[in-house]
Amino acid sequence: MPQEAVAGSLANRVATQLQDAIVSGALDLGQALSEDSIADALDVSRTPVRQALQLLQARGLVQIRPKAGTYVFEPTVEQIAELTEFRVTLERQAALWAFERSRAASAKTLAQVVETMEQAIADRDMRAYGRADTAFHEVFFKGCDNSYLWNSYTFNFAQVAALRTHLAAYTEAEPLRSFEDHKAIRDIFDSGQASELEPILAPHILRTRENYTATLRQRQERLSESRIEQLRRALDPTSFSPKRGLESAPQREETQ
């Protein structure tokens, strides 16, 4: 195999591992990414890591800032709005084609995912719920039998999957509300009509714009408060006693 192909294959593997870590929540939104640290952790050279990060930048999962470093993406309110609009356009069609072309298989998988969601809610595991949410909507693209829609989903919707995982931990009410939509969509695939999908699916997706925006702000506020509290503790005058500092300092032996 040519050396270029080997390097490209390795870069794709590194990109997949990093993407999985971002989507799963193992890497946090806005977290700094060191090429050296990633290379050491994956036992590869810096070249495939650099190529992998460029691939992830094209997918919107990382931000490479010249002379500042590379960071896991952290979307703006405007980006969330645009992503939501784009998602409605693609997912609405994917769901209709999945209903028409692979209804039985899609209905079976949707039912299984709803059970997973129900367990996640019972366990109060919102990250698990977020992962199940991603699996639920992925059913439409797997069942639509259109490679262009599938490729667009895999290339563009990693951000959506990551947002579900990261932001679900900051909200409790919305999963319960969205769960009702998921059950309704499951029932439509099981015994309903295609015309019933859009009145539920489109508002369900569009509502994520407000949810993601609100929870993103909550997350930023909590992180900001956490940093402020850390700084307060560090600068608390009661946490450092000059006398205690002198007493704890090593005593220098006197020269005779």
Which amino acid belongs to residue 93? Answer: Q
Res. 165 pLDDT band, cuts 50 70 90: confident
Q: Which of 24-28, 47-51, 185-189, 214-218 shows the lowest mean pLDDT across its residues?
A: 214-218
3-state secondary structure the chain: CCHHHHHHHHHHHHHHHHHHHHHHCCCCCCCEECHHHHHHHHCCCHHHHHHHHHHHHHCCCEEEECCCEEEECCCCHHHHHHHHHHHHHHHHHHHHHHHHHCHHHHHHHHHHHHHHHHHHHHCCCHHHHHHHHHHHHHHHHHHCCCHHHHHHHHHHCHHHHHHHHHHHCCCCHHHHHHHHHHHHHHHHHHHCCHHHCHHHHHHHHHHHHHHHHHHHHHHHHHHHHHHHHHHHHHHCHHHCCHHHHHHHCCCCCCCC
Cα–Cα distance measured from residue 233 to residue 137, given in angstroms and rounded to the nearest whole number: 44
The CATH architecture annotation of domain 3-72 reads Orthogonal Bundle (1.10)
pLDDT score recorded for residue 246 = 35
Identical fold for domains 3-72 and 77-218, yes or no, is: no
Which class is 77-218 in CATH? Answer: mainly alpha
49-104 pLDDT, tens per residue? 999 999 999 989 999 998 899 999 988 888 888 888 999 999 999 999 999 999 99
- The percent of residues above 90 in pLDDT, for the chain, comes to 51
106-145 pLDDT, tens per residue? 999 999 999 999 999 899 888 788 889 889 999 999 999 9
Average pLDDT over residues 169-184: 75
**Domain residue spans in the chain?**
3-72, 77-218
pLDDT score recorded for residue 215 = 73
Cα–Cα distance measured from residue 133 to residue 182, given in angstroms and rounded to the nearest whole number: 9
pLDDT score recorded for residue 5 = 46
Residue 203 sits at the vertex; the CA angle it makes with 212 and 120, to the nearest 5 degrees, is: 55
pLDDT at 171 over 60: no
6-36 pLDDT, tens per residue? 456 899 999 999 999 998 888 988 899 999 9
pLDDT score recorded for residue 124 = 86
Residue 18 sits at the vertex; the CA angle it makes with 136 and 109, to the nearest 5 degrees, is: 15
Instruction: Quickly count: other Cβ atoms within 10 Å of residue 251's Cβ.
Output: 6
For residues 171 and 124, which has the higher predicted lDDT (pLDDT)? Answer: 124
Contact of 141 with 149, CB cutoff 8 Å: yes
For residues 157 and 171, which has the higher predicted lDDT (pLDDT)? Answer: 157
For residues 165 and 56, which has the higher predicted lDDT (pLDDT)? Answer: 56
Res. 243 pLDDT band, cuts 50 70 90: very low
Contact of 103 with 150, CB cutoff 8 Å: no
Please give the model's pTM, rounded to 2 decimal places: 0.70
